[in-house]
A = this chain, B = another copy of it.
């Protein structure tokens, strides 16, 4: 399989993986191949509103052990836009509550002739465990604080569409880094494609050990603001925090919310992103979230495109002979 890499020049790349578990283990070429495929699907399906018949007869199972209407629906719609069938498993009401092991549940799903399992679980490494035990393709839709690769890919795709390339950009991930699998997937993907990544937040949410990832660490948004090409405003995950990591929401917003006032200190062409769901007035004010620099809804649409690309590369592409989705 050879594919046009828009980052630089034509490089022959082959998609050979059976699973998408993380961005850490992907090469820059593999990430670019997914992004190129996503762009191609977006174009051919009028921003993912039209259907293709590329995965007709395939079945994609959602196996979500954490609530997520949004991500689950995005995967379901992506699968169906490609003509695949979808089936939902939920943790409550499933055999797990009858004492079955997780691997047994997965093997049962496999025995039902499912082609791909999209899994979300609070335990890091669960998708890899599945991939080691069953033959169908596994897509990680978030494993605890570890990774959420399609979220990273859709964020990166959105930036690339706006700027043409990731190489040389400065991207800040602001806010709740500690609990964020989105941050981890962004860091791996962005750095592989040549971006400079800053993680920015209060010391309670951004520890020094992030230096191991090769990123810059900042505690003041105002200090780094003028240098940033992209601000990705991570959601404060109130529902995950046992202890509040800052004195009050008001204080957090005072220091880290993107406001109209702060926009004046930012670059003229700064991109405002947020993986959503957003807490208006906490990470971002409505003025900025709905303003001209915001690409928040483009991210949602790109989520569909990226998931179509991933499912097609895993299930649909004839890896030996095809170069592009037909």
Residue ranges of A at the interface with B (Cβ–Cβ < 8 Å): 47-51, 56-57, 59, 67-70, 73-74, 76-77, 80-81, 85, 87, 89-90, 92-101, 104-105, 107-113, 115, 235, 237-239, 276-280, 297-298, 300-301, 303-304
Beta-carbon contact of A95 and B108 below 8 Å: no
- A56 / chain B contacts, CB cutoff of 8 Å: 51
Q: Given that A107-B297, A112-B300, A113-B77 are known contacts, is A277 also in contact with B95, CB under 8 Å in the complex?
A: yes
- A301 / chain B contacts, CB cutoff of 8 Å: 111-113
Beta-carbon contact of B239 and A48 below 8 Å: no
In Å, the complex CA distance between A298 and B107 comes to 11
In Å, the complex CA distance between A50 and B84 comes to 11
- A76 / chain B contacts, CB cutoff of 8 Å: 87
Q: Given that A107-B297, A108-B276, A301-B113 are known contacts, is A69 also in contact with B57, CB under 8 Å in the complex?
A: no
Q: Which residue of B lies closest to A95 (CB)?
A: B277
Q: Which residue of B lies closest to A63 (CB)?
A: B69
Chain B min CB distance to A107 (Å): 6
Beta-carbon contact of A100 and B49 below 8 Å: no
In Å, the complex CA distance between A110 and B304 comes to 12
- List the 8 shortest-distance A-B pairs measured between CB atoms, nearest first: A100-B277, A111-B300, A95-B277, A49-B113, A67-B93, A69-B94, A111-B297, A51-B57
The listed residue with most B CB atoms (<10 A of its CB), out of A81, A104, A115, A298, is A104
Beta-carbon contact of B69 and A100 below 8 Å: no
- Of B49, B57, B92, B104, which contacts A276 at CB under 8 A? B104
In Å, the complex CA distance between A105 and B69 comes to 10
- Of B57, B97, B105, B276, which contacts A67 at CB under 8 A? B97
Chain B min CB distance to A106 (Å): 11
Q: Given that A76-B87, A113-B49 are known contacts, is A100 also in contact with B300, CB under 8 Å in the complex?
A: no
Beta-carbon contact of A99 and B279 below 8 Å: yes
- A67 / chain B contacts, CB cutoff of 8 Å: 92-94, 97
Beta-carbon contact of A277 and B105 below 8 Å: yes
Beta-carbon contact of A278 and B89 below 8 Å: no
- A107 / chain B contacts, CB cutoff of 8 Å: 297
